[in-house]
Every structure is written in structure tokens, then in C-alpha cells.
Amino acid sequence: MLEPKVWQLTAGSVVAGLALAAVAVAVAGPWDSGQRKAEREWAAAQGRTGGAHHDPRAPRTPSPAPSAPEVLSVLTAQGAEPAELADLSAGLGKALGPLLDDKALGKLRTASVVDAATGKPLYGKAADTPMTPASTVKIATMAAALSALGPDHRIATTVTATRDAKTLTLVGGGDATLDREGLRSLAEDTTRVLHDRGVTKVTLHYDASLYSGPRAHPIGPNDNIAPVDALMAGQGRLDKSTRGPAPRSGDPAGDAADLFAELLREEGVRTTAAPTAAKPAKPARSAKAAGSAEVVAKTYSRPLSALVERALTESDNDVAESLARQTALATGRPASFAGAEQAVRAQLEKLEVPLTGARFADGSGLDRKDRASAALLTALLARAADPDHPELRPVLTGLPVARFSGTLRNRYQDAAPAAGLIRAKTGTLTGVNTLAGTAVDSRGRLLAFAFMAGSTSSPGEAQAVLDRLSASLVR
């Protein structure tokens, strides 16, 4: 049992950490979406003052999110003299060295710590060595998507109709967060148009042709990811879950179309038969023919900033693969695994981060062919804190918070005073454990870190060491 003074110190550390986290939440705004909204309401609840009320009905047309030039300006403005950084570097070497020698990390481990305000390296152990990153590769995927598309971008799902409005096509745009309510919105808007034209019975097709190449992830059927389709509802989940592993449909696009047909019927529009996949469009012979398909309804995803936060906070593999393909589309490449890999790398090259040995075989980190160095991950985190790259800020705001949110909700139980002071993306595959994120040290400086272990035998023990490594940065 802990002595009273130890309990007091631990409790005080947690309270202090959560208080600083609440300040960081206010500084890291301004998006009212995803992780930012959840943290702000949670912080308000702790003060017993109540949170703001938000309309649960999302807009059906895009509303650009505000830009964020001052995000994290308080933290990133705190520079440091060279001598101070040298002292910090020496201290990190003494603190991290013994922890990195822990046998729980196996024989292959790397590390990188940089000052987020300046990007200057403070500590490294084989930092340039490419490793299997597991889900920490999502940091690279998200940075590339934000760089290519911007945080305000929204993904559309569309319904088109023939000139007589008797044939509809549900067209997927790649929104991996589309759910029953989103389809209901489409159904309501569609039937409103059909009723105005006196149509109560239609033929329904669906179009998921936006993506190309293999639909199945290289790991094969897996509860951690659905087939990568441009059209899906509820991420193809066959249960009522909204996050984490779950049995998945083998045909998310077809199932989404079936659900849309059901919702149309609820609104008074019957379908002639079960929905079928739309035939590939033939080249139009005239402008008149090209305009024969009319858009009658459209719904949009939340802004890309919110999608990035969701992908990082909950380690959402479906959203990650979707955003990798959106990056490919934005850069004129095929929306396939191969095209997405080319697009992600090209965008990261523009950010001038170290890419030697890097490989982005997928966007989620489930593919063991992925490669990233600890130095690459910390460089991306530093870019996200750079005032010159406000578009990348959701990479930081989406990171799970120690003892509070996402995949870190149940971590750091024995690593006080980490609660609220560490935000990090986890990575876990069999034999692979990684952690990359930011920590606020005792002087209020923001540090970016990445710790990677590639030959672990016990994930629980390895995770505990990674937690202690990052918690040591706070001290």
C-alpha cells in the first residue's frame, strides 16, 4: 500500500496534469468537432459549470471550419537557449537510457525526442532506423491528408437520378464515417424531390467505383477493418458497435445500398428490386447526354479535421484507409493501396521530413510492410506544432490523452504524473509496440517523442515500459 505522502503526490500530479490539459484544450482549439469538442465539454464538467449545448443535427451542406493560425501558440512560442537545450538533452540521456535497456522491449528498439518549438533533436537511439510502426503510421497518413486537402475538406455522398427520376444511384465518395443517420438524411432529401415529381417507385443502383485496386486489406478478412470501399455505412459493422474490432461485412457497399432502400421505403418510396451495382458509365456523346444524371441529394462528412482526430484518438483503421485514398484522389493518383502510398510519400516530401527507408504500404498500420523511423514521427509532430503549418494541427489535437481518451484511456495507471500531460498515438501488432506523441515537461516545454520496439514478447510489459519512457519526459 502506498504511503499517505505518495498518495498525495500522485493525486496532486493527476489534478495538476488535468488542469494543464484543460488549459491546453482551450489553447488548442478552435474546432468544435471530434476530440476538441469532447475535451472541452469534459473539462467543463469537471468544473461543475456544465458544457455548451450543441445541436445534434449536422448540417447537410458543407460549412468550412475556421482556420487555426494561433493553435498551440502559447506552447510553441516557448523557445530555449542552446545551453538550456544541451542540459535538457543530457538529462534525457540519463533518464531514458536505462529504461530503453529494459528487456521487455526486446532486442530491437529505437527512440527520438525533439523540442517541438524548434524541431531540434534532444535525444536519439537509432532514431533514423526504419521500423514497423504499426498504428503510429497513422500520424504520417493524417499529416499527408491534411497537407493535400486542408482541415476544412468534407467528403460527399451523393444520390443522382435520371431525367424521369425513376432510377436512382447512390454514389459513394469515400466517407468511412457515413452511418444510418447520414443515409436517413439522404433518403429524406431524395424523397422530397421525388414526391414533388409524383414518383413513388424507383430502381436503385449504387456506385462504389471511386476506389480502384484490391478492396481487401493485405491482412485479409479481419475484425479490425472492413473491405476498403468508397461506399459503406457504419463501417460495415455487423453488430451495434461504433469503434474497435467487430465482425465486418464482406460487401459494405451493397449493404449500405440495402439500408438506403429501406430508408426510402420508410419515407414512402418503394424500390422495384434489390439494389444493384451501377454499370460503368459510358463516355457521353454530347453535353446533353452528359447532364442526364441529376444530383438530387447530397450529404457531407464532418470536416477533415474531425476525421483526423477520430482516426488518431480511436485508432480508426477504416477512416485511416479512407483518408489515404482521399489523398491519392487529391493528387491525381489512383485511389488504391499503391496510389495512396505514392500520394502520402509525395505529400510528406513537401513537408521536408526524413523519409529514408520509409514505406506506406497502407494508411492504417495494419500492414507489416510499413516502415517509419522514430525521427520521421517526431519530425511530423514538430511540423504539426509549427505556426507555419496550422493545417496540420489536428495531428496534435487528435492524439489520445493519457488516462483520459481513446487508446490511452486505460494506460499510464502506474506512470504518474503522466495523466493529462501526455498525448500519444499507440501502435500494436504481434511483436511490435510503438508510441509517438507529445509531453509537457516540468518547465512547460512541449516535447515530441517516438519510442519503437520491434521484437517484443509481452505487449502488456512492453506498453508499460513505453508509458514509463514517455512519463519520464514530464519529470
* Per-residue pLDDT at 285: 46
Whether pLDDT at 132 is above 90: yes
Confidence of residue 251 (pLDDT cuts 50, 70, 90): very high
Q: Which stretches of 174-316 are DSSP H helices?
A: 180-196, 252-266, 287-290, 304-313
What count of other Cβ atoms lies within 10 Å of the Cβ of residue 238? 14
288-292 contacts at long range (C-beta below 8 A, 24 or more positions apart)? 292/162, 292/163
| 308/311 Cα distance (integer angstroms) | 5
Catalytic residue among 135, 301, 336, 470: 135
Q: Is the pLDDT of residue 10 over 80?
A: no
**1, pLDDT greater than 60:** no
**Mean pLDDT of the chain, nearest integer:** 85
CA dist 110 and 434 (Å) reads: 10
The stretch 105-123 carries a mean pLDDT of 95
Does the pLDDT at position 229 exceed 50?
A: yes
Alpha-carbon distance 264 to 202, whole Å? 10
Residue tagged active-site, from 33, 185, 301, 315: 315
What are 287's strand-pairing partners? none
For residues 449 and 378, the answer to whether their CB atoms sit within 8 Å is yes
Residues 340-344, mean pLDDT to the nearest whole number: 98
Among the options 13, 33, 37, 138, which is catalytic?
138
The Cβ-side half-sphere exposure at 452, using a 13 Å CA radius, reads 29
Q: Is the pLDDT of residue 192 over 70?
A: yes
Sort strands 201-207 and 270-271 into parallel, antiparallel or unpaired.
parallel
Evaluate if residue 437 carries a pLDDT over 90. yes
- Asked about 147 being catalytic, the answer comes back as no
Give mean pLDDT, residues 404-415. 90
Cα radius of gyration rounded to whole Å, the chain: 24
Weakest mean pLDDT among 51-60, 127-136, 381-390, 404-413: 51-60
Q: Which of 164-178, 183-197, 290-304, 377-391 has the lowest mean pLDDT?
A: 290-304
For position 286, what pLDDT does the model report? 39
DSSP 360-421: -SSSSS-STT-BB-HHHHHHHHHHHH-TT-GGGTHHHHTS-BTTTSGGGTT--TTSTT-TTT
Backbone φ, ψ for residue 190 (5° rounding): -65, -45
Q: What pLDDT sits at residue 191?
A: 98
135 tagged catalytic: yes
CA neighbor of 428 nearest in space, from 103, 133, 130, 112: 133
Cis, peptide link before residue 30, omega less than 30° from 0 = yes
d(CA 33, CA 304): 10
> Across residues 67-80, what is the average pLDDT?
41
Catalytic residue check, 305 = no
Separation of CA 34 from chain center: 10
Measured between alpha carbons, how far is 462 from 453 in angstroms, rounded to an integer? Answer: 8
Stretch 14-30: mean pLDDT: 42
Query: Residues 422, 427, 432, CA angle at the centre, nearest 5°?
Result: 130
pLDDT of the residue at 279:
82
Half-sphere exposure of 444 (CA within 13 A, CB side): 13
Contacts of 150 (CB under 8 A, 6+ apart): 304, 391
Q: Cell digits for 268? A: 414512402
- Separation CA 119–CA 85 (nearest Å): 11
